[in-house]
Amino acid sequence: ANARLEFDQAPTEVQELAQACNLMLTRISDAWGQQRRFVSDVSHELRTPLTLVQGYLQSTLRRCNSLSEPQREGLEIAAAEADRTIRLLQDLLDMARADGGHLRFNLEQAPLKQEVQDILDMCHYSSDRVQFQADAPSLTARIDRNRLKQVLINLIDNALKYSDSDQPILVRLSRAGEWAQIQVRDRGRGIPPTDLSQIFEPFFRVDEDRSRTTGGTGLGLSIVKTLVEGMNGKISVQSKVGDGSLFTVHFPIK
């Protein structure tokens, strides 16, 4: 939005060219802003009625004992699709907010072991499947607790989605120099080396068909990266096909 070309000392022709370019940049920036507002408004408008539909579907499934098997199956598919679409809308909303610099962070010094443990407890992951190891139990860092929750849930959900159900996921808290390090390691299918550099791009998925069956949106990791960077952290990934993936989030200790 602030891109401008400055050529005050240049010959007239160059100044005119710079002016024309600046006009173009302003138009592109306006169009971009309109598109962002459109995505944000539409996501917001669609999310409310869809949440209502999802609520009705779920309460019918819970309360109605007289449903035939095909009816129940149909409602379950509708509820799962509503759920997936609500998540996609939430992701789009977050993306539009992040893009416009409207994502707010409430940073506070927090004990990381307790934060991670609380998130894991709240999500009711089975402790056999998602294991937690705190090598540096007294580490604290300046984070936004809700955003950290969003980051961890995204990484753990991916680890669960892209690995077999008998493979444990390890969440590890440790110290690396002046950084607090939270890692999520899975023993799943891994990510091909050629795709690793694109994994944090919006809508990127390693294997379209495979991802579709898992109901992902392709937005999760790009939002995770935006959130981590918004907390002054950084995120990286190492992966080997057939051996699994290791996502590492760093937060500055001081």
CA quadruple 72, 74, 75, 81: dihedral sign: positive
Residues of this chain, 112-171, that bind ligand ADP according to CB under 6 A: 158-159, 162
Interaction between residue 100 and ligand ADP (CB under 6 A): no
* Encoded tokens for 190: 């891994």
The torsion defined by the Cα of 93, 248, 235 and 250, in degrees rounded to 10, comes to 110
HSE (CB half, 13 Å, CA atoms) of 12? 0
**What span, in angstroms and rounded, lies between the C-alpha atoms of 125 and 3?**
46
Considering beta carbons, is residue 190 or 233 the nearer one to ligand ADP?
190
Considering beta carbons, is residue 200 or 251 the nearer one to ligand ADP?
200
Which residues does residue 181 pair with via DSSP β-bridges, in sequence order? 174, 250
Only one of the segments 30-38, 124-132, 136-144, 214-222 lies at the binding site for ligand ADP (rule: CB under 6 A); that segment is 214-222
- In the block, tokens 């159900």 appear at 165
Give yes or no for a contact between 91 and 225, defined as CB atoms under 8 angstroms apart: no
Q: Which of 97, 144, 171, 188 binds ligand ADP (CB under 6 A)?
A: 188
The CB-of-210 to ligand ADP minimum distance in angstroms stands at: 7
Residues of this chain, 230-249, that bind ligand ADP according to CB under 6 A: 245
Residues 6 or more apart whose CB falls under 8 angstroms from that of 186 comprise: 158, 159, 160, 162, 163, 167, 169, 170, 244, 245
Considering beta carbons, is residue 36 or 87 the nearer one to ligand ADP?
87
Only one of the segments 4-12, 34-42, 106-114, 202-210 lies at the binding site for ligand ADP (rule: CB under 6 A); that segment is 202-210
Q: Which of 57, 191, 227, 228 binds ligand ADP (CB under 6 A)?
A: 191
**Which residues would be at the binding site for ligand ADP (CB under 6 A)?**
158-159, 162, 186, 188-191, 199, 204-207, 211, 216-221, 245
